[in-house]
């Protein structure tokens, strides 16, 4: 797909991957409608781009109001958007039983429900074009579920299923659905605990500009799916074919995952824990 002259809606445009992705889309000739919740961040992103190439819309895509606002902005854009890139997400790393149910609910709303409802709302507009694309930025954890990332893995597995089903449902139309997965990438998405886990497990991480370059290349090539990185590509496939092998491998890493994922105890909790021993 040629990006020159198209309007691309980019969610997560103010993020660590979103910013270089915005620049790479603009470099490929697209006009970008940048989406995020923080206007100051979006303004800075637009200011870094060539004049007139990037406008923004402030919207929390996890809310009905936010999605309606984005839809109105998309309808007012010229030319009408023909590409939707879903690159926003909420992160969560921690032991499952220590997760806040409200946070888990919000994560699934943001990472899975919002992309599904946004794609649904924008479909009539995208289909006014002979060729259009919905690009979902996934994750290795959407093919290989990881301990310490249960809710996040669930949301990305859901996104992969959604994208695959839609790609098949629209296979005989000009609308493409693409599921493109970065591996660990050096952005603020990863907390210091995740960085420490990755370092101890010797997980490679990419620079965001390189990820953005590969994402735009995959969009232009119209690839249905892409996993960035080796051995992540291989592990994702092995997990699909013989998940028991990955179970055994990750079981060996569990003590390390638990050590990094455990919620730090507050001083009150420490006191409660120690009290019986003091008596």
Ligand X SMILES: NC(=O)c1ccc[n+]([C@@H]2O[C@H](COP(=O)([O-])OP(=O)(O)OC[C@H]3O[C@@H](n4cnc5c(N)ncnc54)[C@H](OP(=O)(O)O)[C@@H]3O)[C@@H](O)[C@H]2O)c1
Q: Looking at 9, 12, 154, 215, which residue binds ligand X (CB under 6 A)?
A: 12
Give the residue with the Cβ less far from ligand X, 9 or 30: 9
Give the residue with the Cβ less far from ligand X, 157 or 189: 189
Let me know how long the chain is.
Answer: 279
Give the residue with the Cβ less far from ligand X, 82 or 155: 155
Give the residue with the Cβ less far from ligand X, 127 or 213: 213
Q: How far is it, in rounded angstroms, from Cα 159 to Cα 153? A: 10
> Which of 152, 179, 189, 235 does the annotation list as catalytic?
152
Residues 6+ apart with CB under 8 A from 167: 176, 177, 178, 179, 224
CA angle 95, 101, 102 (to 5 degrees): 130
- Say if CB 222 and CB 178 are below 8 A apart: yes
Q: Looking at 88, 176, 225, 260, which residue binds ligand X (CB under 6 A)?
A: 88
Give the residue with the Cβ less far from ligand X, 60 or 129: 60
Is 179 part of the annotated catalytic residue set?
no
Site for ligand X in 146-205 (CB under 6 A): 182, 184-185, 187-190
Q: Tell me: does residue 34 bind ligand X (CB under 6 A).
A: no
Task: Count interface residues toward ligand X (CB under 6 A).
Answer: 29
Stretch of 34-42, 124-132, 170-178, 234-242 lying at the interface with ligand X (CB under 6 A): 34-42
Q: Tell me: does residue 115 bind ligand X (CB under 6 A).
A: no
**In sequence order, what DSSP letters do the residues of 177-206 get, joined into one string?**
EEEEE--SBSSTTS-HHHHHHHHHTT---B
**Contact letters for ligand X, residues 41-60 (x by CB under 6 A):** x------------------x
- Say if CB 191 and CB 93 are below 8 A apart: yes
Strands of the sheet containing 81-86, edge to edge, are: 54-58, 31-36, 7-11, 81-86, 132-137, 175-181, 225-227
- Say if CB 34 and CB 58 are below 8 A apart: no
Catalytic residues: 152
Residue ranges binding ligand X (CB under 6 A): 11-18, 36-38, 41, 60-62, 87-90, 110, 137, 139, 182, 184-185, 187-190
């Amino acid at each position: 797909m040629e990006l020159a002259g198209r309007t691309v809606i980019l969610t997560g445009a103010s993020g660590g991957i979103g910013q270089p992705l915005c620049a790479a889309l603009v470099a490929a000739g697209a006009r970008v409608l940048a989406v995020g919740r923080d206007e100051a961040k979006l303004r800075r992103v637009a200011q870094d781009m060539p004049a007139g190439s990037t406008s923004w819309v402030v919207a929390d895509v996890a809310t009905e109001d936010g999605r309606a606002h984005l839809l109105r902005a998309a309808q007012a854009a010229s030319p009408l958007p023909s590409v939707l890139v879903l690159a926003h997400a909420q992160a969560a790393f921690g032991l499952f039983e220590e997760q806040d149910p409200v946070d888990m609910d919000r994560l699934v709303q943001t990472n899975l429900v919002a992309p599904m409802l946004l794609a649904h709302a924008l479909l009539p507009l995208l289909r006014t074009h002979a060729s259009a694309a919905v690009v979902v930025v996934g994750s290795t954890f959407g093919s290989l579920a990881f301990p310490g990332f249960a809710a996040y893995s669930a949301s990305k597995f859901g996104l992969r299923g959604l994208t695959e089903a839609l790609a098949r449902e629209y296979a005989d139309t000009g609308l493409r659905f693409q599921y493109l997965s970065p591996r660990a990438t050096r952005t603020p998405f990863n907390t210091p605990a995740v960085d420490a886990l990755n370092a101890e497990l010797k997980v490679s991480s990419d620079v965001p500009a390189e990820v953005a370059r590969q994402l735009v290349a995959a969009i232009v090539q119209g690839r249905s799916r892409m996993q960035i990185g080796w051995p992540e590509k291989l592990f994702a496939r092995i997990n699909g074919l013989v998940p028991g092998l990955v179970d055994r491998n990750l079981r060996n890493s569990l003590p390390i995952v638990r050590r990094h994922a455990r919620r730090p105890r507050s001083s009150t909790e420490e006191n409660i824990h120690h009290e019986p021993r003091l008596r």
